[in-house]
Structure 1
Amino acid sequence: MLQSIHHIAIICSDYERSKDFYCRILGLEIIEEVYREERQSYKLDLALNGEYCIELFSFPNAPKRPSYPEAQGLRHLAFGVNDLPKEIERLENHGIACEAIRIDEYTHKRFSFFSDPDGLPLELYELHPATKL
């Protein structure tokens, strides 16, 4: 029986740029970083609040994949936040564009999409709204 989601694997086009984005800008912690000589590839294990969650990989000449929120396949990766406008402002201060705030029609919670350096759709989903629209 399944117990949990262990991690999400992401292949990036520019390892240093993506490492900076996920670590410095989003604030994920590095658990372990390994360079695999035989593959000419980095593997970076990342945690959020001490919990392992993302494997960031680099591969030479990895093919591009269409990545839009409504494309088939993995739709997006969502991060829970307590104050959506504050997190949007923080990302925008780093030059990261965020979409307009939307309201989930079923939960009535607020959310917004943005992208990682390779265009992977990411979402901020407000867990406990700090303010009203």
Structure 2
Amino acid sequence: MLKGIHHIAIICTDYAVSKAFYTEVLGFEVLAENYREQRDSYKLDLALPDGRQIELFSFPNPPKRPSRPEAAGLRHLAFQVEDIDAAIAHLHAYSVVTESVRVDEYTQQRFTFFQDPDGLPLELYEVKA
């Protein structure tokens, strides 16, 4: 079912500082940078050397957390799947609740979220073979 990690999403408190750190200090390549006006938020897609990605988000005044999805720190861990419907059915067979499937506005890929037993947000991200 799971094929690997597609991306790791991080919400930062200072976009310029974090962008410089990930691109200049760590040397990740910028794949795309989008300003989302309706959310007053940046989304920066970065390539890791193995082809995986980091999504760096900014939000105005993100709350501190260990669990809220729009707060500073690790946002969620995404698992790549080829068939999201089959993966969701598998989770449902184990009584794992999933959110409604959404479509990424930039890539047109389908995704959904669920939680681990401690409430950590996890994502299934469909990438067709």
TM-score w.r.t. the length of structure 2 is 0.49
The structure with the largest strand share of the pair is 2
**Structure with the larger RCO, 1 or 2 (CA within 8 Å, 6+ apart):** 2
